[in-house]
Amino acid sequence: MADPARVILFTGKGGVGKTTVAAATALRCADAGLRTIVVSTDPAHSLSDVFDVDLGPLAVEVAPNLWGEQLDAQARFEDAWGDIQGWVREVLEWAGVEAIEAEELAVLPGLDEVFGLTDIARYAVSGGWDVLVVDCAPTAETLRFLSLPDVLSWYVHRVLPVSRRVTRIVGPVLTRVSDIPVARDDVFSAAERLYSLLSGARDLLTDGECTSIRLVVNPERMVIAEARRTYTYLSLFGYRTDAVIANRLLPEVVSDPWFKAWKETHAEHLAAIEDAFAPLPVLRAELAPDELVGLDSLRGFGESLYAGHSPGGLLHDAEGLRVERRNGGHVLSFPLPGADRDEVDLGRRDGELFVRVGPYRRSILLPDSLKRRPVGDARLAGGRLSIHFGDPVVRG
């Protein structure tokens, strides 16, 4: 099997210009001779507008070495969720919900976007591309998009096997005494297939050797704050961020006194960006005088943005989760940039460690060397959470 393509995902708060940055990055990679495809998982689908080319659910050649596509997440959703949706609809109708309402309620809001993950993985391992650029949805949707495999893992490994066994035992009894729809084997099999697809995609996207995320920000306080939270949560789930794009900065040539306060504010925010995301490189892009539409405009923007950098390269090589011996004990650590000590909670159950930062929780399966060791103390320093484990518990 060929090596997977280089995968670069762009996300940011809505309206920061991530689609433009993603398109310009893809074009610059293509101009360097790399077979490149840029895809959109954003329901707004602005790639067509940026390239000034009609794009749809099939790849369209936009320029030499460059193809574009707006992923049809609904089709993937129907393939993966159909059996499960059918059973949920039957249960809702049994409970008295009208058929058309049951049809709508059987679809979890926003879930269809998540199935774009399977297309991303399929393209990355197809061998047909050197670079895959992904224009993601705004940050909140992206976090849901990328954290779903972790959430499903909990249910598939713990809840699903138990539910399947219980259903096999109790199901025949229920069908004799009640007409409630009982989940069939095809429903459980569909859930397992869904998890397998998303888990494979997650393995690819958390492989820091081929995949990284770039955050696009504007010099605005709220935008920067959201990007910092996103950076922390991405690190919590094991995704590598390799750069920050500071977009729409006022050009240095602007000298009109009317813009003086605005430029000073931009300078303060830019300093805050560089400080908050250090040691990540911060690439700068000035506010364009015209709309960035079409290949010529995007090409000029990309050349300025990536001056001195390889757009398809790994711009920052950060270390992920590691386990090491230290001072006679064992320490598990992973990056948690931007997190505040007061918002980090730890929990432990058997061979799992639970880390919660704000509303997001990650379950880390401990390696065998740590399963029988009790958690000692934990320390958050330098943007890295280190958890110390004591001597193994000896059972009498």
More confident position, 33 or 290:
33
Q: Does any domain span residue 159?
A: yes
Residue with token string 């993937």: 76
Percentage of the chain modeled with pLDDT above 70: 71
Question: Please, which pLDDT band fits residue 292 given cuts at 50, 70 and 90?
Answer: confident
Q: Does any domain span residue 182?
A: yes
More confident position, 57 or 62:
62
253, 283, 310 - which closes a domain: 310
Q: Does any domain span residue 100?
A: yes
The span from the CA of 198 to the CA of 221, in Å, is 34
CATH of the domain at 349: 2.60.40.790
CATH of the domain at 175: 3.40.50.300
Q: Does any domain span residue 111?
A: yes
Q: Which of 126, 336, 145, 320 is nearest to 240 (CA)?
A: 320
User: How confident is the model at residue 161, as a pLDDT?
Assistant: 46
User: Residue 89: which domain range?
Assistant: 1-310
User: How confident is the model at residue 254, as a pLDDT?
Assistant: 72
User: How confident is the model at residue 332, as a pLDDT?
Assistant: 86
Same domain, 333 and 373: yes
More confident position, 393 or 391:
391
Q: Is the pLDDT of residue 357 over 80?
A: yes
Same domain, 79 and 108: yes
Same domain, 102 and 160: yes
**DSSP class per residue in 165-190:** HHHHHHHHHHHHH--PPPPPHHHHHH
Q: Is the pLDDT of residue 366 over 80?
A: no
Same domain, 168 and 74: yes
For the stretch 61-98, pLDDT in tens is 999 999 999 876 666 555 555 555 554 455 444 445 45
Judge contact between 206 and 238, C-beta under 8 A: yes
Q: Does any domain span residue 281?
A: yes
Same domain, 293 and 329: no
**What average pLDDT does the structure give for the chain?**
78
Judge contact between 245 and 285, C-beta under 8 A: yes
Same domain, 147 and 260: yes
Lowest mean pLDDT segment, chosen from 22-31, 108-117, 127-136, 242-251:
108-117
For the stretch 134-193, pLDDT in tens is 998 776 667 666 766 666 665 555 544 434 443 444 444 434 444 444 445 555 566 666
Q: Is the pLDDT of residue 326 over 90?
A: no
More confident position, 78 or 210:
210
Same domain, 226 and 327: no
Same domain, 381 and 265: no
Judge contact between 284 and 304, C-beta under 8 A: no
**Segment 230-257 mean pLDDT:** 84
Lowest mean pLDDT segment, chosen from 92-101, 228-237, 241-250, 301-310:
92-101
Q: Does any domain span residue 101?
A: yes
Same domain, 115 and 258: yes
User: How confident is the model at residue 284, as a pLDDT?
Assistant: 94
Lowest mean pLDDT segment, chosen from 251-260, 273-282, 309-318:
251-260
Token readout for 248 is 């729409």
The span from the CA of 315 to the CA of 227, in Å, is 18
Same domain, 188 and 250: yes
The span from the CA of 244 to the CA of 374, in Å, is 38
Q: How many domains does the chain have?
A: 2
Q: Is the pLDDT of residue 394 over 50?
A: yes
User: How confident is the model at residue 92, as a pLDDT?
Assistant: 43
Q: Does any domain span residue 71?
A: yes
Q: Does any domain span residue 394?
A: no
Q: Is the pLDDT of residue 345 over 80?
A: yes
Same domain, 219 and 92: yes
Residue with token string 């050349």: 303
User: How confident is the model at residue 177, as a pLDDT?
Assistant: 41
Judge contact between 40 and 27, C-beta under 8 A: no
CA 249 to chain centroid: 26
The sign of the dihedral angle between the CA atoms of 82, 88, 91, 97 is negative
Q: Is the pLDDT of residue 52 over 70?
A: yes
What is the pTM assigned to this prediction?
Answer: 0.76
Same domain, 280 and 303: yes
